[in-house]
Amino acid sequence: MNPTVLTILISSLGLGTTLTFIGSHWLLVWMGLEINTLAIIPLMISQNHPRAVEATTKYFITQATASTLLLFASVTNAWTSGEWSLIEMLNPTSATLATVALALKIGLAPLHFWLPEVLQGLDLTTGLVLSTWQKLAPFAILLQ
């Protein structure tokens, strides 16, 4: 992979995590999580092997599902409470949906069905980034 492209992708990983950490608004948090997801996909598929392509596809579909669920939870919360604040989750349905979406993004049990299959198709470095760095931002939001 071109060193310039690799630098941009790694910088995007840092930017997405930083946006999620400093965000107090649901839309900013969602945007940071999406930047993280879109930054690691080219790193996952850089091997150009059928297993890497399958792992990348599974990762993308799972993360898109979790992202849609998180966006739906935040919009539902904003609709019922009138607040986009991260701390003001007054609607129990929205709070449950957001928790499930973040658990799916992290790969917490019982929503960890995708993680072993995705890790099998990746090289060691990308698997390490996926298993550690990609989990920091959703875990920080889950703790809040």
Q: How many domains does the chain have?
A: 1
Reply yes or no on whether the pLDDT at 48 is more than 90. no
Determine the pLDDT at residue 23.
86
Contact 94, 80 (CB under 8 A): yes
What band does 84 get if pLDDT is binned at 50, 70 and 90? confident
- Tens digits of residue pLDDT in 102-121: 999 999 988 889 999 999 99
Q: Tokens 């941009």: give the residue.
A: 8
Q: How many helices (H) and strands (E) does the chain have?
A: 7, 0
List the domain range (segments joined by +) for residue 29. Answer: 3-143
Does residue 8 register a pLDDT over 90? yes
User: In angstroms, rounded to a whole number, what is the distance separating the alpha carbons of residues 101 and 126?
Assistant: 23
Beta bridge partners of residue 51, listed in sequence order: none
pTM of structure: 0.91
pLDDT band at 35 (very low <50, low <70, confident <90, very high): very high
pLDDT band with cut points at 50, 70 and 90 for residue 16: very high
Average pLDDT over residues 116-134: 92
3-state secondary structure of 48: coil
**Confidence class of residue 135 from pLDDT cuts 50, 70 and 90?**
very high
**Distance, CA of 68 to CA of 70 (rounded, Å):** 5
pLDDT over 90 at 12, yes or no: yes
Decide if pLDDT at 144 tops 90. no
Sign for the pseudo-dihedral over CA of 12, 18, 20, 25: negative
